[in-house]
Chain A
Amino acid sequence: MENVQHAASTDDIVSRVCSVLVDMTDDWDMDFEGEINRDTFLISDLAFESIDIVQLVVAIEGEFDKRGIPFEQLLMVDGRYVDDLSVGDIADFLSASL
């Protein structure tokens, strides 16, 4: 029962993160034509750059109405940005952090 609830909440998080990403990339000129889902990667699919990641952090904090989520644990390894992130990675991280 607990696992089912957890899966449901993760699905909800995925859907809310996707919605944030759709808003952000609405007016971008990019090659990606599919639908943003759990398997979409921020850099290789959506051509995110550092500033977009930083803006996404702000947008997610606004969406979930929570400040100070430790995104650095997800975004950085040894003081440098990770190579890429999927929507699923973000949802799993949020599921554990919220």
Chain B
Amino acid sequence: MPSVVANGAKISYQQAGEGPDVVLIHGLATNRAFWFPHPLQSLKEHCRVTIFDLRGHGYSSMPESGYTSADMADDLAVLMDHLSIEAAVLVGHSFGGVVGLQYATRHPDRVKGLVLADSRVLSLQPIQSLDQQAELQGLEKELISQSVDNWQKEPHVGMRLLEELARHKLNNPGQPSRKGINPFGGMGKGERSARLWLKLLETTSAREDIRSPAGLTAGRIKAFGNPIALIYGERSRCIDTCRQMEQQLPHSDTIIVPGVGHFHPIARPRYFTNAVLDFIERAEASESGPGSTDGSGASDADRRQNSRQGNWNGQTCRRRRERRVAWRKRGWKGAERRKRPRDPGLSWMEKGLAKKLRDSETVIDNSEEKRKWHRTSMKT
């Protein structure tokens, strides 16, 4: 089964499709199966997609140390060399995005573009507290309400919740996973994945390593000039990172996925895949460098405004225009306006007058009834 030894760890990987290279990097407590059902199946129609298990995850080995984002970026470098990938678009979810960012800032010449999907960058968002999210989801609420700890003081609430979810999974064997929020879901019971995550936290340096910025400072991020897309869930706890990244990298494009949280690539897979495909297309077509990513001549402010409005970098609108032009050339005359048939009955003025008349009659009737009631009550 395909694997490579990188810095003392066996890294399992697989590839699918043909075309420009795209590498997908999963987040903590999951594995490469995170990408398999939707993004991989769609992307492999257009690209050669590489998915792999981070060290300590899935079918990769679990050495005692080496779990900082920088260490894992070094693993990625070995994997890309092994597969002779000269340059690729990197797509990382959560911690996988941080690994991608580490790699991209060290080897910008080998990264055509970077997609950060709901990543929290420690140097930009050192504290991730419970109130940094619109609302807790069902199981999270349960776990927190049953806990005796003070969750308000928890500075890494996302990671803490992952640990609690794994413990809950093992304490409640056989229960089906709840949709959307759980990395120990998908096919099967997820108990082995939960056990693996707890083993990683308890027997290796992962817990401390993951909480280290590992040299990924704001200054290093600011110097990154390649195309970058920030795709974040509207209800994500990592949204502060997204806003900070926008400031550090004015050429970045932002998509906020409405109504979903951290696991939006699972919750809204088509939305996510389409955004990634669109970005890959542009990253492949563009020369690297801020302000020249789409060739539209639009200013950063215009492009940011467009992406906030859901018009992906203004490109969606332009494509729609182009499609309309193409269809017109083929004889399409535009949507015919449907004429509203004239009401054969009363005109609006007549209707209004009729209503007024009805109302006034009611009032008169009521008044007459009231007078009758008064007359009767006076007599008695």
Which residues of A are interface residues toward B (Cβ below 8 A)?
43, 47-55, 57-59, 62, 68, 72, 75-76, 79-82
Cβ < 8 Å to A, chain B residues 1-48: 1-2, 12, 14, 16, 31-33, 36-38, 41
A72 and B41 contact, Cβ closer than 8 Å, known pairs A47-B192, A49-B188, A49-B193? yes
Interface size class of B (residues with CB under 8 A): 20 to 34
Among B251-297, those with CB < 8 Å from A are 269-270
Contact A58 B33 (CB under 8 A): no
The answer on a CB contact under 8 Å between A50 and B269 is no
- Select the residue from A43, A47, A72 with max chain B CB neighbours within 10 A: A72
Whether B58 sits at the interface, judged by CB under 8 Å, is yes
Q: Which 3 A-B pairs have the closest CB atoms?
A: A50-B186, A50-B33, A49-B188
Instruction: Identify B186's interface contact among A49, A59, A72, CB under 8 A.
Output: A49
Chain A nearest Cβ from B149, distance in angstroms = 29
**Once the chains bind, are B1 and A53 in contact (CB under 8 Å)?**
no
Show 23 residue pairs from A and B whose CB-CB distance is below 8 angstroms, ordered by the A residue. A43-B188, A47-B188, A47-B189, A48-B187, A49-B187, A50-B33, A50-B186, A50-B188, A51-B53, A53-B33, A54-B14, A54-B31, A55-B58, A55-B59, A57-B14, A58-B2, A58-B14, A72-B37, A75-B37, A76-B41, A79-B269, A79-B270, A82-B187
Extra contacts besides A50-B33, A50-B187, A51-B32 (15): CB < 8 Å: A47-B188, A47-B191, A51-B33, A51-B53, A53-B33, A54-B14, A54-B31, A54-B33, A55-B12, A58-B2, A75-B37, A76-B41, A80-B37, A81-B37, A81-B186
A83 to B41, CA, bound (A): 19
Interface residues of A: mostly helix, strand, loop or mixed? Answer: helix
A43-B187, A58-B1, A59-B1 given; A50·B36 CB < 8 A? yes
Q: Which of B37, B38, B58, B269 has the largest count of A CB atoms less than 10 A from its CB?
A: B37
Most chain B CB within 10 A, of A43, A49, A68, is at: A49
Shortest beta-carbon distance, B53 to chain A, in Å? 8
In the complex, the answer to whether A54 meets B1 with C-beta atoms within 8 Å is no
User: In the docked arrangement, what's the CA distance between A68 and B14, Å?
Assistant: 11
Q: B36 and A54: CB pair below 8 A? A: yes
A52–B58 Cα distance when bound, in Å, is 9
Cα of A59 to Cα of B33 in the assembled complex, Å: 15
